[in-house]
Amino acid sequence: MKLTIIGTGYVGLVTGTCFAEVGHHVICVDNDAAKVKVLQAGGIPIYEPGLEELVKKNVAAGRLRFTASTADGVQNSDVVFIAVPTPPQSDGSVDLSYIEKVAREIAAAMTSYKIVVDKSTVPVKTGEKVTETIKRYCAAKVEFDVISNPEFLREGFAVGDLMKPDRVVIGVGSQRPVAAMQEIYTPFNAPIIITDINSAELIKHAANSFLALKISYINAIATICEAAGANVQEVAQGIGLDERIGRRFLNAGLGFGGSCFPKDLSAFIKISEQVGYDFKLLKEVQRINADQMERFVKKITDTLWVLKDKTLGVLGLAFKQNTDDVRSSPAIDLCHRLLKDGATLRVHDPKAMEKARAILPGVTYVDDMNAVAEGCDALVIATEWDEFKQLDLARAKKGLTHPILFDGRNLFDPAEMEKLDWIYKSVGR
């Protein structure tokens, strides 16, 4: 099928590339001409494992191309996906101005029937607004269907999540676009759930807030474990093997961040309020998440007492492993907190240092993770990168004034660390 994806961010670029990989002809549109030039020259503006190879392969095969023109994309495809940002606003609601603008641009460019698919995470009833907008701005007065097809990919695992989705959700207002959507997704061999548009939009919010709830739940359990002398990882294993609960998303730590969970939770609370429901449960999820950071900072200050004039080495800046994304990163929040208390920071991240520089000035960026500890009073792990498990502990110990490690992601074994004579503080153990 001929597809266009508008927006080449984490969702749009990976979605377009994976659609091309299964044989569709895909045009990726972005209004940022500089970004389009980078993509046309074979560059990838984001880090996502496996993406670069797939983009190259599909561009070479003639199934994937990039343009800055929405009209080019719309007029040369049957289905147009909207994958533009929906950033949070100060009151917790979502800024839908990019969606509205793209809807107008699609409407202006349409000269024949199109299926317009909303892939961005949007509040329930956005589909109705997009339909109204296209109707109003479509000079050619052609027929169209607006549908909702929420994306569940995780950054850092986006290619895998897209190629092997757990499920595909398609929210429609009529039967007409269903066959085309099934044709697009059949190669992915996943269950396809057809719903109404409002339900599809709610599924995304309900899924993300449930996962955030799971993380806050285990973080609350971690607090109890610390007080009771239990081990949160053993508790997670013990409950996670119950298939009804599941072990995934039960990793205690510094709490959740990223461009989705914090924003989607606030938006869902706001949407619920608008339809007359006070979602106190989700407000508590947010509170536990904020507390988690405070409790971790307290752990550091309880041990080091005064941070002023102390140097800390921080491993991890991305909001999670396998990504260069630092948006709403707990690791960056932690750095800001430590700087505010007067600490000097030496920091390292395998992929996110370039993006971090813009929002985290006044720290020393260290290229080699094993060199971070040099001259520091303590080390802190803030992101769950697998490579941090390979940290040269002997070298770190030599570099530190005292062998102190605050592990915000539970990467090391407390018993082993004790044997190696480290003062080791983790979460819930």
Which residues form the interface with ligand UDX (CB under 6 A)? 151-155, 208, 211, 215, 249-251, 253, 256-258, 260-261, 319-320, 384
Convert 309-373 into a string of H (helix), E (strand) and C (coil). CCEEEEECCCCCCCCCCCCCCHHHHHHHHHHHCCCEEEEECCCCHHHHHHHCCCCEECCCHHHCC
- Measured from the CB atom, the residue of 319 and 422 that comes closer to ligand UDX is 319
In the complex, least distance from residue 174 CB atom to ligand UDX, rounded to whole angstroms: 26
HSE-up of residue 105 (Cα within 13 Å, Cβ side): 22
Amino acid at 239: I
Residue 260 falls in the annotated catalytic set: yes
In the complex, least distance from residue 156 CB atom to ligand UDX, rounded to whole angstroms: 6
In the complex, least distance from residue 120 CB atom to ligand UDX, rounded to whole angstroms: 11
Amino acid at 382: A
Rounded to whole angstroms, the Cα distance separating 307 from 92 reads 33
Using the structure block, give the residue that is written with the tokens 């697009």.
184
Rounded to whole angstroms, the Cα distance separating 46 from 281 reads 34
| Distance, CA of 413 to chain centre | 27
Count the neighbouring beta carbons within 10 Å of the beta carbon of residue 330.
26
> Per 3-state DSSP, what percentage of the chain is helix, strand, and coil (rounded to 5)?
45, 15, 40
Amino acid at 278: D
In the complex, least distance from residue 396 CB atom to ligand UDX, rounded to whole angstroms: 23
In the complex, least distance from residue 25 CB atom to ligand UDX, rounded to whole angstroms: 25
Rounded to whole angstroms, the Cα distance separating 162 from 19 reads 9
Helix, coil or strand: residue 65: strand
Catalytic one of 18, 138, 260, 335: 260
In the complex, least distance from residue 83 CB atom to ligand UDX, rounded to whole angstroms: 12
Do 214 and 250 touch, CB atoms closer than 8 A? yes
Do 278 and 310 touch, CB atoms closer than 8 A? no
Rounded to 5 degrees, φ, ψ at 296 are -70, -45
Read off the DSSP letter of residue 15.
H
Rounded to whole angstroms, the Cα distance separating 411 from 396 reads 16
- Measured from the CB atom, the residue of 26 and 331 that comes closer to ligand UDX is 331
- Measured from the CB atom, the residue of 98 and 137 that comes closer to ligand UDX is 98
In the complex, least distance from residue 155 CB atom to ligand UDX, rounded to whole angstroms: 4
Using the structure block, give the residue that is written with the tokens 């500089």.
34
Residues 6+ apart with CB under 8 A from 330: 254, 255, 256, 257, 293, 319, 382, 408
In the complex, least distance from residue 236 CB atom to ligand UDX, rounded to whole angstroms: 8
Active site amino acids: 260
